[in-house]
Structure 1
Amino acid sequence: MPTFHTYDGTELAYHLVGEGTPLVCLPGGAMRASTYLGTLGALADRRQLVLLDLRGTGGSAAPEDPATYRCDRQTEDVEALRAHLGLERVDLLAHSAAGDLAALYAARYPHRLRNLVLVTPTTRAAGLAVSVRESREAAALRASEPWYEDALDALEEVWAGRMDDGLRARTRPFMYARWDAAAREHGAASPAQINAEAAARYAGEGAFDPAATVPALRALTAPVLVLAGEYDTLVTPDLAAGLAALFPHAEFAVQRGAAHFPWIDDAGAFARTVEAFLDPEVHSVRAGGTRLAYRVWGDPAAPPVVLAHGRCGNSADWTRIAGRLAATHRVYAFDFRGHGLSDWPGRYSFELFRDDLHGFLEARNLAGATVVGHSMGGAAACLLAERHPGLIGRLVIEEAPPPIPLDPPRPVPERPAGELDFDWPVVPAIDAQLNDPDPAGRELLGEITAPTLVVGGGPSSRIAQEDLAGMARAIPGAEFVTIDAGHLVHTERPEEFLAALRSFGI
Structure 2
Amino acid sequence: MPTFTTHDGVALAYRILGEGRGRPLVCLTGEPGEPREPGRPGRSGGKGEHDGKGETDTRGLRGGPEGPEEFEGLAAHRTLVVLPARTADGRLLPAGVVEALRDHLGLERIDLLGHLAGGDLAVRYAAAHPHRVRSLVLVTPGPAPEPVPAHAPERARRAFGGSTAPVLVLERAPGAALVRAVVAFLDPAVRTVTVDGVGLAYRVAGPGDGRPLVLVHGRGESSTTWGPVMEDLAADHRVYAVDLRGHGLSDRPGGYGFDVFRDELGGFLKALGLTGATVVAHSMGAGAACLLAQREPALVGRLVLEEPPAFVPLDPPRPPARRPEGRLAFDWGIVPATDAQLNAPDPAWRAGLPSITAPTLVLAGGPSSHIPQEQPAGLAEAIPDARLVTVEAGHLVHEARPAAFLAAVREFGTG
Query: TM-score if structure 2 supplies the norm length?
Result: 0.80
Q: Offset at 1:5?
A: 4.3
Q: Offset at 1:7?
A: 4.8
1:226 aligned partner? 169
**Cα 1:311/1:91, change in 2 over 3 Å:** same
Partner amino acid, structure 1, of 2:356: I
* Structure 1: distance between partners of 2:165 and 2:241: 25
Contact 1:368 1:391 in 2 (8 A): yes
Q: Give 1 or 2: higher strand fraction.
A: 2
Q: Give 1 or 2: higher helix fraction.
A: 1
1:462 aligned partner? 370
**Cα 1:443/1:343, change in 2 over 3 Å:** same
1:49 aligned partner? 80
Q: Offset at 1:410?
A: 1.0
Query: TM-score if structure 1 supplies the norm length?
Result: 0.67
Q: Offset at 1:430?
A: 0.9
1:199-278 aligned at under 5 Å gives the runs: 214-215=157-158, 217-218=160-161, 220-229=163-172, 262=173, 266-278=174-186
Match of 1:37 among 64, 67, 79: 67
Give 3-state SS (helix, strand or coil) of 1:35's partner: coil
Q: Offset at 1:432?
A: 0.5
1:87 paired to 2:107: yes
Choose 300-309 or 326-335, whichever is displaced more: 326-335
Match of 2:140 among 115, 120, 128: 120
Query: RMSD across aligned C-alpha pairs, in angstroms?
Result: 3.2
**Cα 1:210/1:399, change in 2 over 3 Å:** closer
2:192 aligned partner? 284
Match of 1:344 among 249, 252, 257: 252
Choose 105-114 or 490-499, whichever is displaced more: 490-499
Contact 1:100 1:121 in 2 (8 A): no
Give 3-state SS (helix, strand or coil) of 1:371's partner: strand
1:398-437 aligned at under 5 Å gives the runs: 398-437=306-345
* Structure 1: distance between partners of 2:6 and 2:310: 65
Contact 1:410 1:431 in 2 (8 A): yes
Give 3-state SS (helix, strand or coil) of 1:372's partner: strand
Which consecutive unaligned segments of at least 5 residues does structure 2 have? 35-63
Deviation string 1:220-253 (CA, Å, 9 cap, x unpaired) is 4212222224xxxxxxxxxxxxxxxxxxxxxxxx
Partner amino acid, structure 2, of 1:18: G
Choose 370-379 or 45-54, whichever is displaced more: 45-54
1:109 aligned partner? 129
* Structure 2: distance between partners of 1:491 and 1:106: 42
Give 3-state SS (helix, strand or coil) of 1:395's partner: strand
Give 3-state SS (helix, strand or coil) of 1:107's partner: helix
Q: Offset at 1:87?
A: 1.5
The alignment-based identity, stated in percent, is 56
Runs of 4+ in 1 over 4 A off after TM superposition: 7-11, 31-34, 207-216
* Structure 2: distance between partners of 1:7 and 1:400: 61
1:441 aligned partner? 349
Which consecutive unaligned segments of at least 5 residues does structure 1 have? 63-68, 123-133, 136-158, 162-174, 176-201, 230-261
Q: Offset at 1:284?
A: 3.2
Q: Which of structures 1 and 2 has the bigger CA Rg?
A: 1
Q: Offset at 1:302?
A: 0.9
Deviation string 1:280-318 (CA, Å, 9 cap, x unpaired) is 443333333333333333222211111111112222221
Q: Offset at 1:437?
A: 0.7
Deviation string 1:362-399 (CA, Å, 9 cap, x unpaired) is 34332221100111111111111222221111111111
* Structure 2: distance between partners of 1:208 and 1:403: 50
1:494 aligned partner? 402
Partner amino acid, structure 1, of 2:132: R
Q: Offset at 1:24?
A: 1.3
Match of 2:116 among 96, 99, 111: 96
